[in-house]
Amino acid sequence: MKVFSVFGISGSGKTTTIENIIKELKTRRYSVGSVKEIHFEEFAIDTKGSNTNRHRKAGAELVTARGYHETDILFPEKLDIPKILSFYNQEYVVLEGVTDYNLPKIITAYSEKEIEERLDDSVFAISGKIANSLKEYKGIPVINSMERIDELVDLIEKKVYEKLPDFDPKCCSACGYDCRTLGMKILKEEAKREDCTISDSKIKLKINEKDIDIVPFVQRILENAVRGVVSELEGYKENTKIVITLDNNHE
């Protein structure tokens, strides 16, 4: 799954840019998902006094609103990005307004000052209103999504890599960097996505069929624990594949 964010202040052209990107990705036959970050403290579908709110107040930990054309599962908390992405299986996921995760990013802006305030090494393109008057900023292409969407999506195809983990630097540096630095180096073409060795590990963990990244020291703990127990069993052979399934539906 390839994930990137489009961010900028309100009215800078974010949603229009994302609409154009999604349409072009669909034209190119990719499956696409999106996430919209809402910067409004009072935002809630589950409003005070609604029936779903009454379910929650009565003690339901998870509430679902099931309509004729839409089903909304109402988590009573702000989920982090990895948790949200665990519900997606599209080839591309576009995040609107998300800045707190290890991702390639596109800035949308009105002015050079706005770009400058947001620019870092995770930004690979600039778009929005500023694209009417600027073609490049500090070597980063500024692309008008209304007129040159082909070019913007070509760049997305070239730059956006398979989602990387976002571990604490203390937990993993197997590629020689921390996760965020590797992401920035991939964008600058100074490193490759394959330099993240976490998916080559001997231990694979899936929860509900989704691959879960495990930091190296936890991999070692799991490997030693499983090998320690399984090696005592009849039929165990060195260097063979071991599969354990833990199904919580069975008591």
Interaction between residue 164 and ligand SF4 (CB under 6 A) = yes
Distance CA 175, CA 182 (A): 8
Query: Contact 28/142 with Cβ under 8 angstroms?
Result: no
Least distance in angstroms from the C-beta of 215 to ligand SF4: 7
Interaction between residue 191 and ligand SF4 (CB under 6 A) = no
Annotate each residue in 69-108 with x if it binds ligand SF4 (CB under 6 A) or - if it does not, as one string.
----------------------------------------
Interaction between residue 175 and ligand SF4 (CB under 6 A) = yes
Hey, what are 250's tokens? 């069975």
Kindly tell me which of 91 and 178 has the beta carbon lying closer to ligand SF4.
178
Least distance in angstroms from the C-beta of 79 to ligand SF4: 21
Distance CA 104, CA 160 (A): 6
Q: Which of residues 195-224 bind ligand SF4 (CB under 6 A)?
A: 196-198
Single out the residue of 126, 182, 186, 187 in contact with ligand SF4 (rule: CB under 6 A). 182
Distance CA 246, CA 250 (A): 9
Kindly tell me which of 189 and 247 has the beta carbon lying closer to ligand SF4.
189
Q: Point out which residues pair with 5 in neighbouring strands.
A: 95, 105
Least distance in angstroms from the C-beta of 35 to ligand SF4: 22
Least distance in angstroms from the C-beta of 139 to ligand SF4: 24
Interaction between residue 3 and ligand SF4 (CB under 6 A) = no
Distance CA 90, CA 94 (A): 10
DSSP code for 23: H
Question: Per CB under 6 A, which region of 4-12, 29-37, 64-72, 175-183 contacts ligand SF4?
Answer: 175-183
Beta strands (DSSP E) in the chain are 2-7, 32-36, 63-66, 71-74, 92-96, 105-108, 123-127, 136-137, 140-141, 205-207, 210-212
> Three-class SS of residue 228?
helix
Query: Beta strand 205-207 with 210-212: parallel, antiparallel or unpaired?
Result: antiparallel
Least distance in angstroms from the C-beta of 6 to ligand SF4: 23
User: Among positive and negative, which fits the CA dihedral 192, 115, 150, 105?
Assistant: positive
Interaction between residue 173 and ligand SF4 (CB under 6 A) = yes
Query: Beta strand 63-66 with 71-74: parallel, antiparallel or unpaired?
Result: antiparallel
Least distance in angstroms from the C-beta of 197 to ligand SF4: 5
Question: Per CB under 6 A, which region of 67-75, 108-116, 177-185, 221-229 contacts ligand SF4?
Answer: 177-185
Question: Per CB under 6 A, which region of 4-12, 16-24, 50-58, 166-174 contacts ligand SF4?
Answer: 166-174
Residues that bind ligand SF4 (CB under 6 A): 164-165, 167, 172-175, 177-179, 182, 196-198
